[in-house]
Amino acid sequence: MDCKELEAMAAMAAMALDQIDQMLPEGAWYTPDIDAAYAHVQMSMGSSPDVILRKLNSPACQPDGVLLGYIDGLVDAQLVDSSIIAPLLKTRLAPSTWAHAMLLSGDIRPRRRWPEILHDLTQGRTLVFAPGLSWVWSIGVSKLPQRSISTPKTEQTIRGPDEAFNEVIAVQMSQLRREFSYPGLRFHSITLGRLQHTAVVVTYLEGLANPALIQVVVERLEHVAIDGRATGTLLSGLIRDHPRSIFPTMRATERVDTACHELLQGKVLVLIDGDPFALVAPSPLADFYRTALDYDEAWYDVSFVRVLRLTAWAVGVYLPALYIALTEVNTDLIPHSLLILTAGNHAGLPFPPIVEAFLMVFVIEVLREAAIRLPKVLSTTIGTVGAIIVGTVVVKAGIVSPQMIFVITLTALSFYTVPVYELTGTWRVVNIMMLIAAAIVGIYGLVLVTVWMIGSLISLQSFGAPYFEPLAPFRLSDWFDFLIRLPWTLMRRRLSDARPTHPTMMGPSMEEPPAHLGRGRP
Amino acid sequence: MSRLSRRIRGLFIGGLGLFLLTGCWDQRAIEQRAIVLAIGVSADHHWTLLFPNVTVTASSISSLGRSDEFYTITAKAESYQKALHRVQLQASREVSTGDVQLVDLSARLTRGQLARIMDSMILTGAIPAQVWLAASQTSPSTLLMHPSPQTVVPVYNLSSYFDCPACHAADFGVRAWQWWDRAVTPGVSPVLPVFTETQEGAAVYQILVYPVQGKPLLMPRQATQGFAYLMGKVKSGTQKVNCDGTSYMISPIIDEATSRVRLTPTAVDVRIVIHAKGEMADMPAGLLITRAAERAIEQAAAARLVQLSRLAIHWANQTHTDPFGYAKRAAWLDNQTAAAISPQALATLPIQAVIRAHVKLQGEGLAR
């Protein structure tokens, strides 16, 4: 049985549970009757073959015995046998003392209400019903199927730690715990979803994260009312500022080291069960251009790469539109030699440059989509075939000029220098807007769209942090980790966007530094 | 109407206005334009417009023949606007003059005719003000298509001639705005470089000076050299100097000229100091140059520069012109005296010049 089937089963069970829950009056209490409980569980869960209800003849509960209930596949069968069934078959202790004296599990809870009991059952816990006991023992022996911890797929690096979250929230929390080993690491759990229950955990460092920020994140999550399927994208779309804006105001990361870095900046993470991407709040635009590698490489190399990223952004957003503006409208602005060669390249072509541009954008997007959907072996082939088509055949067929191939290829490559994937789509939209404006009114159109873009960026916020900082508002202290990243010896302050309670992260500078950090040393 | 509807309507109208009021609607795409690189105007008002071959690409350049690189369309018209219109009738694309690099004018066109041509070009607003102006004694249509082995399309050889001032002995390039400025300013006779066809393309050895009245005057070659030294335009000059019966070649010469002017009711007094520097490019083999010999050569070279400069001044006085603009500067400095002289007469005043030259030899260069 694979993970998807289990998820489907769990969803069905949760749905049925909720239906029962709606039918029951408020506060439907469990009554200590084994046969009634058996009937109740059967009625609630239906005739599902994975729901195991087994009566055991325990010496402590003669002559009625005890009722054991669990869902096959969600529990560790060996643990159920050794820690629950075997002791039950031998014990003569009173059922009320089993949690302390008999059952061999660390996670045992008494449950008195049927909704709780059935919820625990669907969560993979094992239930023990004993006659005369006014509650049910709910024992945590679940063993949920999970993917092993792997390397990140969307945020790769060449140096430093390379560990990604997986889908199980308990594992996500344990990964963070292991990284911190600090009691101030707090997990605030919230269950979302009316039909499909999803555990969501607000994570922060107590004493560092701003309490107002934590409160805002928790409040927004508590106001989420959905049936189910709480993924990172969905939750981000529901709790972020400006949910209809094309600019993402909440970042997601699958890297554990990035998550730790964000926590150390005083930010708040939202871990979601079933989604290996943790959401980060707040996330100003500059945050989308900070990668894990930026903190694992030499400061000068990182600074160079960041400037390169900015240049690539400008190329990706402006180059095709600039080419269209200069060839369709403002031809007088091109150096005359380039103008003559460009005109020569377009001689005999059936389409104007704007049609060529849209055609090539379409080809690139189709190739990209095909490469994502196909298996890796085939995607490589598609990429090669696509490159041949784009590079040679389209030009030789007289459909697109060679200059347009250069422009669109450089643009496509530039887009992929954006470290966070969701921003790529945003810049693609801006790029299309620029193209249309440039085709109609040339350079003036580029200026118009740029003014709109800057206006939008300045007006946005992310959980109280200005989205366009440190540019607007200008915050000099955050520039030290913006276009350039200063050497570690100079980076003593945290970024100000999360308004952490302690702004410094490296303590005061030493009055008498060690020799290797002394005055005059580079 | 709700606030949202009003806001949407306002945004729509504002956005529409921003797009409709751009002034870009008459622009043509690159494939619909015929790019004019040069314009030639003959004395009998034949207008020749030079276009690059429309199929020029980086890969096709090497396969194009010399005669295929450019083509011309000629029309006879009294004015620039009419000429453009008639050329447009013969062209299948929109004639685009935004990239004109050179206007070649017949040496027989008078100052007045030239001024009218320039005014009409400026009025259209489509020709860049920094376009080079030149004159030719042969037919402009022939000169424009005169091939050069030194450049290849998309570079146009006649305009690239002026794009590299240090590549020639003197920088004689005149831009359209400069000519227009001098033409409307009293006290200066505007000049144009004159192209002479050569096997290597075309070259400038002389200038054409436009007096207040009458036809333009061609300055002799040696006087043109003197003009270049007086105006500090020599960038890579060469002078042969005789000193104590021995011939020396100084090259490259770079000069700077400073002058002090004073206006009198009957003349313009000028004191000019030319500072030139150069290297000894050629001298007799085995000759040992001493410091004294070097000074003697410097003095001989300076005397030669003074001689050439005097030739230029003399020619200007003979022709009643002032291509140097000394009278203009003098009038600006002494407007009381200038008020008594008519603007037309200002540039015809005789120039009384005291010229000194200093030449500094910076070494023996390749001659060592």
CA dist B40 and A92 (Å) reads: 117
What's chain A's length in residues? 522
Query: If you ran DSSP here, which 8-state letter would residue A147 be given?
Result: P
Q: Which residues of B touch A (CB under 8 A)?
A: 18-19, 22, 24, 27-31, 33, 35, 37, 52-58, 60, 96, 98-99, 101, 153-155
Task: Mean pLDDT check: name the lowest of A386-395, B7-16, B89-98.
Answer: A386-395
Are the beta carbons of B30 and A342 separated by less than 8 Å?
Answer: yes
- Chain B CB contacts of A331 under 8 Å are 27-30, 33, 96, 98
pLDDT at A368: 81
Instruction: Give me the phi and psi of A517, to 5 degrees please.
Output: -110, 10
pLDDT at B229: 94
- Residue B26: pLDDT above 70? yes
- Residue B51: pLDDT above 70? yes
Structure-block tokens of residue A135: 């509650």
Kindly report the nearest CA distance between residue A335 and chain B, in angstroms.
Answer: 8
Nearest to B101 among A336, A348, A440 (CB): A336
Residue of A333, A341, A354, A450 best to disrupt the B interface, most CBs of B under 10 A: A341
pLDDT at B160: 84
The DSSP element (H or E) to which B121 belongs, if any, is helix B111-124
- Chain B CB contacts of A338 under 8 Å are 154
**What angle separates helix A421-441 from helix A402-415, to the nearest 10 degrees?**
150
Are the beta carbons of B35 and A332 separated by less than 8 Å?
Answer: no
Q: Which residues of A touch B (CB under 8 A)?
A: 327-332, 336-349, 352-353, 402, 440-442, 444-445, 448
Kindly report the nearest CA distance between residue A404 and chain B, in angstroms.
Answer: 13
pLDDT at B128: 85
CB-defined contacts A:B, below 8 A: 84
pLDDT at A9: 64
Kindly report the nearest CA distance between residue A343 and chain B, in angstroms.
Answer: 6
pLDDT at A438: 92
**Local confidence pLDDT in tens for the 522 residues of chain A:** 455 665 666 556 556 555 655 555 555 888 888 888 888 888 888 777 888 888 888 888 888 889 999 988 888 888 888 888 888 888 888 888 888 887 777 788 899 898 889 888 888 889 999 888 889 999 988 877 778 888 888 888 888 888 999 998 888 999 999 888 888 899 999 989 888 888 999 999 999 999 999 999 999 999 999 998 889 999 999 999 999 999 999 999 999 999 999 999 999 999 999 999 999 999 999 999 998 888 888 999 999 999 999 999 999 999 999 999 998 888 888 888 888 888 888 888 888 888 989 988 888 888 888 877 777 777 777 777 777 777 777 777 888 888 888 898 899 888 888 888 888 889 999 999 999 999 888 899 999 999 999 999 999 999 999 999 999 899 988 998 998 898 888 888 899 999 999 888 776 655 566 666 666 665
Neighbour count for residue B288 (Cβ, 10 Å)? 5
Are the beta carbons of A341 and B31 separated by less than 8 Å?
Answer: no
Are the beta carbons of B27 and A328 separated by less than 8 Å?
Answer: yes
Give A490's strand partners. none
| Mean model confidence pLDDT for chain B | 87
Nearest to A341 among B24, B29, B154 (CB): B154
Are the beta carbons of B30 and A441 separated by less than 8 Å?
Answer: no
Measured between its terminal Cα atoms, the distance across chain B in Å is 92
Kindly report the nearest CA distance between residue B35 and chain A, in angstroms.
Answer: 8
pLDDT at B302: 93
Sign of CA dihedral A504, A507, A513, A517: negative
User: Residue A337: closest CA among chain B residues belongs to which residue?
Assistant: B154
**What angle separates helix A402-415 from helix A336-346, to the nearest 10 degrees?**
100
Exposure pattern of B219-254 as b/e (b: 16+ CB <10 Å)?
beeebbbbbbbbbbbbbbbebebebeeeebbbbbbe
Nearest to A110 by CA among A29, A20, A17, A220: A29
pLDDT at A214: 96
User: Residue A336: closest CA among chain B residues belongs to which residue?
Assistant: B99
Are the beta carbons of B31 and A352 separated by less than 8 Å?
Answer: yes
Decide yes or no: CATH 3.40.50.300 for domain B221-368. no
Are the beta carbons of A347 and B55 separated by less than 8 Å?
Answer: yes
pLDDT at A275: 93
- Chain A CB contacts of B153 under 8 Å are 340
Q: What is the pLDDT of residues B356-368, one digit of tens each?
A: 999 998 876 554 4
Helix (H, G, I), strand (E, B) or coil at B202: strand
Task: Mean pLDDT check: name the lowest of B15-29, B67-81, B252-266.
Answer: B15-29
Write the DSSP assignment of A266-312 as a string of letters.
Answer: T-EEEEETTEEEEEEES--GGGGG--GGGGTS-HHHHHHHHHHHHHH
CB B229 within 8 A of CB B211: no
Q: What is the pLDDT of residues B284-301, one digit of tens each?
A: 777 777 888 888 999 999
Nearest to B19 among A337, A349, A440 (CB): A440
Are the beta carbons of B33 and A346 separated by less than 8 Å?
Answer: no
Are the beta carbons of B37 and A336 separated by less than 8 Å?
Answer: yes
* Mean per-residue pLDDT, B17-44: 82
- Chain A CB contacts of B37 under 8 Å are 336
Structure-block tokens of residue A423: 């921003």
Helix (H, G, I), strand (E, B) or coil at B225: helix
pLDDT at A507: 66
**Is A63 buried (19+), middle (13-18) or exposed (0-12) by CB count in 10 A?**
exposed
Are the beta carbons of B24 and A341 separated by less than 8 Å?
Answer: no
Kindly report the nearest CA distance between residue B121 and chain A, in angstroms.
Answer: 16
Q: What is the pLDDT of residues B313-348, one digit of tens each?
A: 999 999 999 999 999 999 999 989 989 888 888 889
Residue ranges per structural domain of chain B: 28-57+65-218, 221-368
Nearest to B316 by CA among B229, B232, B227, B221: B227
Kindly report the nearest CA distance between residue B338 and chain A, in angstroms.
Answer: 43
pLDDT at A301: 92
Are the beta carbons of A349 and B31 separated by less than 8 Å?
Answer: yes
Are the beta carbons of B57 and A441 separated by less than 8 Å?
Answer: no
